[in-house]
A = this chain, B = another copy of it.
Amino acid sequence: MARILVVEDETDIQEILEYNLKRDGHDVVLTGTARDGLRHARERRPDLVLLDLMLPDGSGTELCKTLRQDAATRGVRVVMLTAKGEEIDRVIGFELGADDYIVKPFSVRELLLRVQAVLRRVSTGESGETTQFGTLRVDRGAHRVWVNGQEVELTALEFKLLLTLHDRRNRVQTRDALLSDVWKIDADVTTRTVDTHVKRLREKLGAAGIYVQTVRGVGYRFAERPDEVA
């Protein structure tokens, strides 16, 4: 189905990834170091690299950056794996050019779904960096947002909130889910905080604010139109 390179030093995680990815019909190669990872990536040009943030011989972020810049690995998709609490978040991950970002411990299902999603974007030619959604354009890497071509200034938190909603569009997100995905692990905030930031986000998005929909008694949903067909 796709060629996937796993760069991860913990052998049990390696095994889990190998077993499940192969079961999903992928062609899997395992490496435990950044050096081997880069070599394999250049030689084999995998479709996707699953990349641990913490590696024995260097950080995964460096490798990620290299993969992005190296001509030999142009077009390779990168999904970062990070342990909870590591000083990186979604936004930083995206700045490095990662296509997605998964926090350990992760559910196997979730991982497979994300991998599928990234691969799907590859095959449909959708860019990993910027996405157009209705009148809204988002550039993850540059951290910029436009509504009808007009740039909108968002704070880091608002941007992250928008990304999270956008990435799970057409799915209701409970306030708790948003809190755990957008806010820091140790953040001690109430669910009402989400409301306030949703309000500010809508405000800044202007006309595109209607994409952020309230599902009363449940949470928020990002969708194009009220009657959109799922």
Contact = CB atoms under 8 A, between A and B. Distances in A.
A94 interface: yes
A91 B19 CA distance: 10
Contact of A150 (B19, B94, B223, B227): B227
Given A108-B97, A121-B109, A215-B143, A229 B149 contact: yes
A6 to B, nearest CB: 14
A107 B114 CA distance: 10
A110 interface: yes
B95 A100 contact: no
A174 interface: yes
B99 A142 contact: no
Interface residues of A, number: 64
Contacts of A217: 155-157
Contact of A141 (B87, B90, B107, B171): B171
A95 B229 contact: no
Given A142-B172, A177-B120, A99 B108 contact: yes
Residue in A19, A116, A172, A173 whose Cβ sees the most chain B Cβ within 10 Å: A172
A181 B200 CA distance: 35
Interface stretch (A26-34, A124-132, A190-198): A124-132
Contacts of A120: 174, 176-177
Contact of A110 (B108, B121, B150, B170): B121
A144 to B, nearest CB: 7
Interface in A135-164: 137, 139, 141-144, 146, 149-151, 155-157
B170 A142 contact: yes
Most buried by B among A126, A157, A229: A229
Contacts of A66: none
Contact of A221 (B90, B107, B109, B142): B142
Nearest to A150: B227
